[in-house]
Amino acid sequence: MKTTRRNFIALSGIAAAGLSTGKTVFAGKALSQNLSSGKIKLSFEPYNLALKHVFTIADSSRTSTPVMLTRIEYGGITGYGEASMPPYLGESQETASRFLSKVDLSRFLDPFQIEDILDYIDQIDEGNRAAKASVDIALHDLVGKLIGQPWYRLWGLNSILTPNTSFTIGIDTAEVVKQKVNEAAGFKILKVKLGRENDREMVQTIRSVTNVPLAVDVNQGWKDKEKALEMIYWLKEMGIVMVEQPMPKEQVDNMAWLTARSPLPIFGDEAVQRLPDVIKAAGVYHGINIKLMKCTGMREAFTMAKTAKSLGMKVMIGCMTETSCAVSAAAQLSPLAEFADLDGNLLISNDLYTGMQIKDGKITLSDLPGIGIRKI
């Protein structure tokens, strides 16, 4: 149908009528009430995640992960956030508590001024990236709830394009590895932690029970580029589909050498913390692993993903051991990613929220507003 001016006016009228009778009008009313309803208030409390299995990576093991839970309240609406702080990254409940105690959101009158608020948070102190993310996530959850939409929609992303998530199998005895692989039936891709003497054995053990595609995360464990390349050729034959941080992040020239020759895509994780690292990663890695706890939250993560794509790099979205709060926040970005490793909530036995679901191995976003979670 050719759209004449008369048709256009008629269509506009229908659209306007739809708006005044639909949900939007309620969101609009809530918005105008909330915008004049006082202060933005942050609160926080420590919580310890109980891991289902002892978790081992290249140089450490643990059975629990400390987190800090945050809330930002405004106009009767609450946004939820979380900082996950595995000990090897240097933050703790003490450092997060110290950092969050310095935050004064009452100086802002409008929670929609995300840029101003998060610039202020970022300049309070150096580091404290997980603590900063806990404010960022709660603020995004609050703002999404005030608007009445989930963030994937506010960012203009298509929820059908979410990737499958990998499920991580930690380093362990052959018997436990087999048991974990069996528990992971239903996942379309598994991730294996390598970087020790028994790498080939680990891969062969998994291959003895499943042919599902595998991602490997070396956590900087390989020190020799020639051996690393040989290993990557062997891994390709074993059905591995990508390699994460094979060598130490400081070995930039060796990493670039390896990436130029690798038959599998190589992703930087430890080497890529925040936005400036994305630019440095071009030519050194094929892709980057974005994690909210590394990059201070959803605002910077979105910019990192867009920047990586503009530089011709692939994007992966990862997580720490986290509740469904931070995992669901990360999942909002996942339509931008080729790979996802959002299994952190599945590794714990005391989650506090429901949100993003894994259905048939695929990240499935809820239509709930904000970061898409509900308290259990």
Residues in contact with Mg ion by the rule CB under 5 A: 217, 244, 269
Q: Considering the complex, state which of residue 244 and residue 351 has its C-beta at the smaller distance from Mg ion.
A: 244
In whole angstroms, the minimum distance from the beta carbon of 317 to Mg ion comes to: 12
In whole angstroms, the minimum distance from the beta carbon of 289 to Mg ion comes to: 6
Under a CB-based contact definition with an 8 Å cutoff, are residues 187 and 361 in contact? yes
Positive or negative, the CA dihedral 170, 175, 180, 184 is positive
Under a CB-based contact definition with an 8 Å cutoff, are residues 53 and 180 in contact? yes
- Backbone angles phi and psi of 240, in degrees to 5: -80, 140
CB-nearest residue to Mg ion: 269
Positive or negative, the CA dihedral 327, 246, 248, 277 is negative
Scan for tokens 């933050």, then name that residue: 91
Q: Considering the complex, state which of residue 191 and residue 225 has its C-beta at the smaller distance from Mg ion.
A: 191
Q: Considering the complex, state which of residue 89 and residue 209 has its C-beta at the smaller distance from Mg ion.
A: 89
Length of the chain (residues): 376
Q: Tell me the DSSP string of 83-107.
A: EE--GGGS--HHHHHHHHHT--GGG
Q: Considering the complex, state which of residue 82 and residue 269 has its C-beta at the smaller distance from Mg ion.
A: 269
Q: Considering the complex, state which of residue 172 and residue 217 has its C-beta at the smaller distance from Mg ion.
A: 217
In whole angstroms, the minimum distance from the beta carbon of 348 to Mg ion comes to: 18
In whole angstroms, the minimum distance from the beta carbon of 218 to Mg ion comes to: 8
Q: Considering the complex, state which of residue 42 and residue 331 has its C-beta at the smaller distance from Mg ion.
A: 331
Of the CA atoms within 13 Å of residue 305, those in its CB half-sphere come to 26
In whole angstroms, the minimum distance from the beta carbon of 207 to Mg ion comes to: 21
The b-or-e profile of 305-332 (16+ CB within 10 A means b, else e) is bebbbeeebbbbbbbbbbbbbbbbbbbb
In whole angstroms, the minimum distance from the beta carbon of 318 to Mg ion comes to: 6
Helical H runs in 213-360? 225-237, 252-261, 275-281, 292-295, 298-310, 324-331
H/E segment holding residue 74: strand 60-74
Q: Considering the complex, state which of residue 13 and residue 87 has its C-beta at the smaller distance from Mg ion.
A: 87
In whole angstroms, the minimum distance from the beta carbon of 196 to Mg ion comes to: 15
In whole angstroms, the minimum distance from the beta carbon of 91 to Mg ion comes to: 17
- Backbone angles phi and psi of 106, in degrees to 5: -70, -15
- Backbone angles phi and psi of 167, in degrees to 5: -120, 130
Q: Considering the complex, state which of residue 80 and residue 339 has its C-beta at the smaller distance from Mg ion.
A: 339
